[in-house]
Amino acid sequence: MIRLPFESVLRRVGAAADALGVRAYAVGGAVRDALLGRETVDLDVVAVDPEGEGQVGIRLAEAVAKAFGAKAPAVYATFGTAAVTLRVPSSGFSVPSSDPDALADAPGEPDAPADRTRQRDENHPEPGTRDSEPTTRLVIEFVGARKESYRRDSRKPVVEDGTLADDLARRDFTVNALAVCLNADRYGEVEDPHGGLQDLDAGLLRTPLDPRVTFEDDPLRMLRAARFAAQLGFRIEAETMEAIRQSAERIEIVSQERITDEIGKMLASPLPSLGFSVLHETGLLDLVLPELAALAGVEAVGGVKHKDNLYHTLEVVDNLALAQAEAGRTGVRAEGYDLWLRWAALFHDIAKPETKRFAPGTGWTFHGHEDRGARKNIPALFRRLKLPLGEPLSYVRDMVRLHHRPTALVDEDVTDSAVRRLLFEAGDDVEDLMMLVRADVTSKNEKRKRRYLRGFDRVEAKMREVEEKDRMRNWEPPVSGDEIKQRLDLPEGIAVGILKEWVREAVLEGDVPNEHDPAFAWVEEQREEAVYRAGLFHHMVRLLKGPEKRAMGAIKDAVFWDDLPLDDEAAALAYLQEVKDDALDDDTDA
């Protein structure tokens, strides 16, 4: 007999089934996770009516809701499913002692759909529970046993009523094709028609039916195979692995949202590389993340090689996942900004193929890959993958853009100004950044690795020192743009922008005290030059025609930062004309 979590709840489900004269079974992830000794966050119940009456899943859900005094179930009549929401003691999520031969302590993320997030409410305990015991929102989904058939051009099945055997045969892997009876006469007995128990014991992922048919019918199952490999640490059976290779191109019929959801779950697992390696080995990575697949391979010139940046990236992601777990930030699943930091690790070198150069005497370089990745590649990836374009995008871009900054400080004396700038740019995310850059040290040369890690220790010590002194996190310059406009009688525009940027840089470099009065005095001294430079910019803008306006950004950068002739306006304009021409030439080459 298998003991499931929420036993008292499931026995009442079984009692409701007995009263209706139907059979009820817990299936899927709840059974698998109970056998693996893992926390379970979803409960699926399959109902079978011996008399063959329809809508048995919905009828059982309504009976269970009534038995618990809960709200009426959410019914999805088209699919024959219904969901009952209960509030139960949070301790029910722990898995009780089960069959002594069952596996335990396996790592991985429970297979929980996005709409089954658990929400604790310690202030409003469920009636009948101890006041001091926190409760948890539990969703139980009910469905009648069914069988499925598929059309070639869709992964959406044609569904018919079926038997329990039909229902288990349609599932993705044998370890998910287990059922536990909930009726009183056979409570806890296991139905295992496809050898799922043996595969659990062997740590094996295998399909109940012919894997080629399984993946042809629903190609998303190929990504689920890779995801379960990462979550559970299981290996994929050879025939199943070969079927994924042969069916890989079928993934094109799956929606991007579904693909991205599986990639995210894979990335949230304890060792994400296990799943991404499956994608790479089967050719799926080329189809679902070609930008990442482009990092694979080693090129040599004159015997000088660069490292395989795909394997380096996967090692960085694993290093980060292990560091997060060791720090107590994640359990079996990363969430929130811990997960977004893993997305940053996955994409931190994404622009290396575009920036790769071989320099005789120097070797392979990838200059500017962090800037190009943050500026161009990451936004494009987020749009294509349909990831959120708000704060998560900004966070990932910042992590990618800054991930070489601490490394650059390791090989030199760490100055206050360099640390001040890093604290200013990273803000409250500086600890995440340092965790990422430590994970990025994958050298097999232990001496070099120790040197970098000791260097990061020095950088972090200097950060604490500078932060205590200057309070640079989320810092704003001591002089604002509004004050510059009002006190220096300047209109909104380039001159004000120049002065704002210059005073910020002067304080960060330590050239001007981080105090209002000396900073404003310094700004006053720069007013005349800022107005002159603004005039040069407006002159150049008036000359730009049509496509030439693409050079406006380059001209603005030069006006702000380049060493322009201050006593020769013609020479300054000639210089800016060269900047414009170079920018347009670069744009044409790109």
Can you give the pLDDT of all 590 residues of the chain as single tens digits? 788 888 999 999 999 999 999 999 999 988 999 899 887 767 999 999 998 888 899 999 999 999 999 999 999 887 789 999 988 776 655 544 443 333 323 223 333 333 333 333 433 343 334 445 677 788 999 999 987 655 665 656 656 788 999 999 989 999 999 999 999 999 999 999 999 999 999 999 999 999 999 999 899 999 999 999 999 999 999 999 999 999 999 999 999 999 999 999 999 999 999 999 999 999 999 999 999 999 999 888 888 888 899 999 999 999 999 999 999 888 777 888 999 999 999 999 999 999 988 888 888 888 899 999 999 999 999 999 999 988 999 999 999 999 998 888 876 667 777 787 788 788 889 999 999 999 999 988 888 888 888 888 888 888 888 777 666 555 678 888 899 999 999 998 999 999 988 888 888 777 888 889 999 999 999 999 999 999 999 999 999 888 888 888 889 989 998 999 888 999 999 999 998 888 887 655 44
CA 299 to chain centre: 29
Within a domain: residue 397? no
- For residues 63 and 20, is the Cβ–Cβ distance under 8 A? yes
Judge if 131 and 90 occupy the same domain: yes
Within a domain: residue 178? yes
Long-range contacts: 529-532, Cβ < 8 Å, 24+? 529/566, 530/495, 530/496, 530/498, 530/499, 530/502, 531/490, 531/495, 532/566
Domain membership of residue 449 as a residue range: 404-475
Widest pairwise Cα distance in the chain: 98
DSSP class of residue 385?
A: H
Amino acid letter for position 273: S
For residues 456 and 581, what is the distance between their CA atoms, to the nearest angstrom? 42
Burial 57-92 (b: 16+ CB within 10 A, else e): bbbbbbbbbeebeeeebebeeeebbbbbebbbbbeb
Judge if 25 and 162 occupy the same domain: yes
Judge if 116 and 131 occupy the same domain: yes
Instruction: Provide the terminal-to-terminal Cα distance of the chain, rounded to the nearest Å.
Output: 66
Contacts of 523 (CB under 8 A, 6+ apart): 479, 484, 488, 499, 502, 503
pLDDT of residue 472: 56
Within a domain: residue 350? no
| pLDDT tens track for 535-581 | 999 999 999 888 888 888 889 989 998 999 888 999 999 999 998 88
Within a domain: residue 232? no
pLDDT of residue 422: 85
For residues 64 and 224, what is the distance between their CA atoms, to the nearest angstrom? 31
Judge if 423 and 526 occupy the same domain: no
pLDDT of residue 326: 92
Q: Are strands 81-89 and 146-149 parallel, antiparallel or unpaired?
A: unpaired
pLDDT of residue 128: 39
Judge if 94 and 150 occupy the same domain: yes
For residues 576 and 568, what is the distance between their CA atoms, to the nearest angstrom? 13
Within a domain: residue 316? no
Q: Helix, strand or coil for residue 89?
A: strand
Judge if 63 and 187 occupy the same domain: yes
Residue where a domain terminates, one of 167, 184, 199: 199
Judge if 569 and 546 occupy the same domain: yes
- CA-based R_g, the chain, Å: 30
Residue where a domain terminates, one of 199, 227, 248: 199
Within a domain: residue 427? yes
pLDDT of residue 510: 78
For residues 521 and 492, what is the distance between their CA atoms, to the nearest angstrom? 20
Q: Rounded to the nearest 5°, which phi and psi values hold at 102?
A: -70, 155
Within a domain: residue 297? no
CATH number at 79 reads 3.30.460.10
The percent of the chain in helix, strand and coil, each rounded to the nearest 5, is 55, 10, 35
Tokens 């069916």 belong to residue: 247
Judge if 486 and 503 occupy the same domain: yes
Q: Is the dihedral of CA 266, 270, 271, 274 positive or negative?
A: negative
For residues 66 and 78, what is the distance between their CA atoms, to the nearest angstrom? 22
Judge if 489 and 442 occupy the same domain: no
What is the token pair recorded at 80?
């024959």
Within a domain: residue 183? yes
In terms of Cβ atoms closer than 10 Å to its own Cβ (0-12, 13-18, 19+), residue 473 is middle
- For residues 248 and 222, is the Cβ–Cβ distance under 8 A? yes
pLDDT of residue 509: 75
Residue where a domain terminates, one of 475, 500, 532: 475
pLDDT of residue 92: 55
Q: Which of 149, 90, 97 is nearest to 122 (CA)?
A: 90
pLDDT of residue 153: 59
The Cα-based distances of 189 to 1, 24, 26, 164, 186 in angstroms read: 5, 12, 10, 14, 6
Q: What is the DSSP string of 310-330?
A: HHHHHHHHHHHHHHHHHTTS-
pLDDT of residue 274: 97
The Cα-based distances of 344 to 134, 265, 268, 381, 400 in angstroms read: 35, 15, 13, 12, 6
- For residues 79 and 159, is the Cβ–Cβ distance under 8 A? yes
What is the token pair recorded at 385?
């993958």
Judge if 465 and 498 occupy the same domain: no
For residues 527 and 509, what is the distance between their CA atoms, to the nearest angstrom? 20
Contacts of 508 (CB under 8 A, 6+ apart): 417, 420, 421, 424
Instruction: Give helix 481-488 / helix 516-543 axis angle, nearest 10°.
Output: 80
| pLDDT tens track for 421-436 | 788 788 889 999 999 9
Judge if 445 and 519 occupy the same domain: no
H-helix segments, 69-128:
none
Amino acid letter for position 275: G
The number of domains in the chain is 3
Judge if 179 and 90 occupy the same domain: yes
